């Protein structure tokens, strides 16, 4: 097959992936997302449920429920990849217009930078301990590795995922054994004091963790053959992400409950200290740093793809020269590294506020994109028109943009973060329910608006001319079939 002799350095960027270059199986998605979630930032995210006031038992339950809800949303985005053969955010041009899609894309870039900064900080701590340098030097070393891996692209990222999943499973089994053997976990679970606000906070932490993958998850499934089963992709991605993240967050809950105030600012060293010293500690530091390589490379690759999508939309094409690709990668990794260096002393509080506030901007986008793809257009996109501002989708889709803005604004009264609290939060017992509203309300409004003010939809998925003659169209129904 074509991929067997292909260069390890990816040649495509945001281009459509022709069928002749498709390869892989859904299981590769499982290992990628399992490895991406068995990592230190997921541990810290789970720990926040306890650090911010929750008990162990109900934090674990809340995290699992949020994980399942957010994981389902994220996996539905992943299933779009094989069908469209495109990066995730380019498909937003259907709902927002070729220029209008820049609005959520800018926010996506900010998300990538934030997650990359947090990942670089924690991995930098691990590298610093491993090679005996200062934290800032560890962060810079990690950033250099990310640049190299991002330049290689898709195939190397999947290879990283496979290796990271094996290392992550071994490290987590060992750490769980050390934690269970050395502490009375039963006593921690027995201390139950249910609080609705803390329970919903735990749900929000894990749901936001999963939903935040939505803007780029299809980037890593788009090389799968177009006839790959959508349910197979959904379950492979969803299970890998949910199992990995829940395992990490469960460990984080127990670690934070045992550490108390010692956890903040010493997350990596405390977790490694649970496992031992000497060679074992060195191996755990290496596992933590390697685990962060996968997810931070995903973020750097995604930031490059998003920036390229913004520029290509404004220029009206999808081709990105190699030199420009390299410039984007250096710029995005450089900004994330600078933020990691500047914010290393206040990470935990700032990170919790960051990931919770992200929900306000990504749940409406996710709702609109999924309703359009699965319920309105039913996969029938005109792929060549996605690069043409004068084509079918136009420059600006004010219906989609308006509903997106409405979806963000309607959440504001219900948001509770470190730097903003909505006026209705106190009356709800300090409970943040904004992400639920941000998913449900825009989905319903967009469905109603798309049905009432519909635009012509292709009768089939229109691929670029080089692929259209190769593949039969299967499994596509019309809007009237669903409605009736």
DSSP sequence for 233-247? HHHHHHHHHHHHHHH
Q: Residue 353: pLDDT above 70?
A: no
- The continuous run of DSSP H or E covering 480 comes out as helix 479-483
CB-based contacts of 73, cutoff 8 Å, min separation 6: 210, 211, 214, 366, 370, 439
Quick: pLDDT tens for 88-108. 888 888 999 988 888 888 887
CB-based contacts of 184, cutoff 8 Å, min separation 6: none
Report yes or no on 18 lying in a domain: no
Report yes or no on 390 lying in a domain: no
Report yes or no on 6 lying in a domain: no
263, 349 in Cβ contact below 8 A? Answer: no
pLDDT of res. 6:
47
CB-based contacts of 197, cutoff 8 Å, min separation 6: 429, 430, 431, 432
* 3-class DSSP state of 462: strand
pLDDT (mean) for 171-200: 80
Quick: pLDDT tens for 324-351. 777 777 887 888 888 888 766 665 556 6
pLDDT of res. 259:
73
Structure tokens at 294: 């996968």
**Between 114 and 346, the higher pLDDT residue:** 114
**Between 336 and 58, the higher pLDDT residue:** 58
CB-based contacts of 75, cutoff 8 Å, min separation 6: 217, 233, 234, 235, 237, 238, 241
Per-residue pLDDT band for 69 (boundaries 50, 70, 90) equals very high
* 3-class DSSP state of 372: helix
pLDDT of res. 473:
44
Determine how many CB atoms are found less than 10 A away from the CB of residue 320: 21
pLDDT of res. 315:
66
Cα–Cα dist 279/297, whole Å: 27
pLDDT of res. 479:
33
**Between 480 and 390, the higher pLDDT residue:** 390
What's phi and psi for 79, nearest 5 deg? -65, -15
Report yes or no on 425 lying in a domain: no
Cα–Cα dist 89/111, whole Å: 13
The total number of structural domains that make up the chain: 1
Most confidently modeled range among 288-292, 385-389, 415-419? 385-389
pLDDT of res. 317:
57
Quick: pLDDT tens for 28-56. 899 889 888 888 778 888 888 888 788 88
Report yes or no on 277 lying in a domain: yes
Furthest-apart CA pair in the chain: how many Å? 67
Give, in order, the Cα–Cα distances in Å from 75 to each of 193, 362, 418.
33, 15, 29
Q: Residue 436: pLDDT above 70?
A: yes
Please provide the distance, in angstroms rounded to a whole number, between the alpha carbons at the two ends of the chain. Answer: 43
Q: Residue 1: pLDDT above 50?
A: no
- CATH number of the domain bearing residue 82: 1.10.4160.10
**Between 434 and 403, the higher pLDDT residue:** 403
Cα–Cα dist 82/100, whole Å: 24
pTM score over 0.85: no
Q: Residue 194: pLDDT above 60?
A: yes
pLDDT of res. 223:
85
Quick: pLDDT tens for 447-460. 999 988 877 888 88
Percent of all residues in the chain with a pLDDT value above 70, rounded to a whole number: 83
Report yes or no on 190 lying in a domain: yes
Task: Give 375's DSSP letter.
Answer: I
Q: Residue 316: which domain range? A: 31-365
Return left, alpha or beta for 134; rule: phi > 0 is left, psi -120 to 50 is alpha, else beta. beta
**Between 473 and 281, the higher pLDDT residue:** 281
Report yes or no on 143 lying in a domain: yes
pLDDT of res. 480:
33
Report yes or no on 481 lying in a domain: no
Cα–Cα dist 191/55, whole Å: 7
Most confidently modeled range among 57-71, 441-455, 465-479? 57-71
Please report the DSSP string for 120-139 in residue order.
HHHHHHHHHHHHT--HHHHH
Q: Where are the alpha helices (DSSP H) in 276-345?
A: 278-315, 322-342
Q: Residue 78: pLDDT above 60?
A: yes
CB-based contacts of 406, cutoff 8 Å, min separation 6: 364, 442, 445
- Pick from 4, 2, 16, 3: nearest CA to 309: 16
């Amino acid at each position: 097959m074509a991929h067997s002799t292909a260069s390890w350095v990816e040649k495509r960027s945001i281009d459509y992936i022709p069928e002749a270059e498709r390869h892989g199986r859904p299981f590769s998605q499982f290992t990628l997302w399992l490895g991406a979630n068995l990592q230190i930032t997921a541990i810290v995210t789970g720990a926040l449920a306890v650090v911010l006031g929750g008990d162990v038992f109900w934090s674990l339950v809340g995290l699992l429920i949020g994980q399942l809800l957010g994981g389902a949303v994220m996996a539905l985005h992943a299933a779009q990849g094989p069908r469209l053969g495109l990066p995730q955010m380019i498909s937003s041009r259907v709902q927002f217009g070729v220029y209008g899609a820049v609005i959520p894309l800018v926010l996506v870039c900010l998300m990538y930078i934030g997650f990359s900064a947090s990942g670089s900080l924690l991995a930098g701590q691990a590298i610093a301990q491993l090679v005996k340098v200062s934290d800032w030097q560890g962060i810079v070393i990690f950033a250099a590795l990310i640049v190299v891996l991002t330049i290689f692209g898709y195939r190397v990222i999947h290879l990283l995922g496979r290796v990271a999943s094996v290392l992550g499973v071994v490290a987590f089994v060992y750490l769980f054994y050390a934690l269970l053997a050395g502490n009375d976990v039963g006593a921690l679970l027995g201390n139950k004091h249910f609080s609705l606000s803390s329970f919903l906070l735990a749900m929000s932490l894990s749901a936001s963790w999963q939903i935040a993958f939505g803007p780029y998850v299809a980037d890593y499934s788009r090389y799968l053959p177009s006839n790959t089963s959508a349910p197979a992709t959904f379950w492979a991605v969803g299970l890998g992400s949910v199992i990995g993240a829940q395992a990490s967050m469960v460990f984080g809950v127990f670690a934070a409950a045992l550490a108390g105030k010692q956890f903040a600012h010493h997350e990596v060293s405390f977790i490694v200290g649970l496992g031992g010293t000497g060679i074992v500690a060195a191996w755990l530091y290496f596992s933590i740093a390697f685990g962060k390589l996968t997810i931070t490379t995903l973020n750097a690759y995604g930031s490059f793809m998003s920036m390229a999508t913004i520029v290509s939309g404004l220029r009206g094409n999808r081709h990105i020269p190699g030199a420009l690709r390299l410039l984007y990668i250096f710029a995005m990794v450089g900004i994330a590294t600078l933020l990691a260096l500047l914010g290393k002393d206040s990470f935990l509080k700032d990170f919790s506020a960051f990931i919770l506030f992200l929900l306000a901007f990504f749940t409406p986008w996710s709702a609109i994109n999924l309703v359009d793809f699965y319920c309105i257009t039913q996969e029938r996109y005109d792929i060549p028109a996605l690069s043409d501002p004068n084509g079918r989708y136009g420059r600006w889709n004010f219906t989609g943009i308006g509903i997106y803005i409405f979806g963000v604004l309607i959440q504001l009264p219900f948001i509770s973060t470190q730097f903003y609290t909505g006026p209705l939060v106190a009356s709800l017992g300090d409970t943040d329910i904004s992400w639920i509203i941000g998913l449900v309300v825009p989905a319903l409004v967009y469905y109603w608006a798309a049905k009432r003010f519909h635009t012509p939809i292709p009768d089939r998925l229109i691929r670029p001319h080089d692929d259209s003659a190769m593949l039969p169209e299967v499994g596509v129904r019309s809007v009237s079939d669903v409605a009736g």
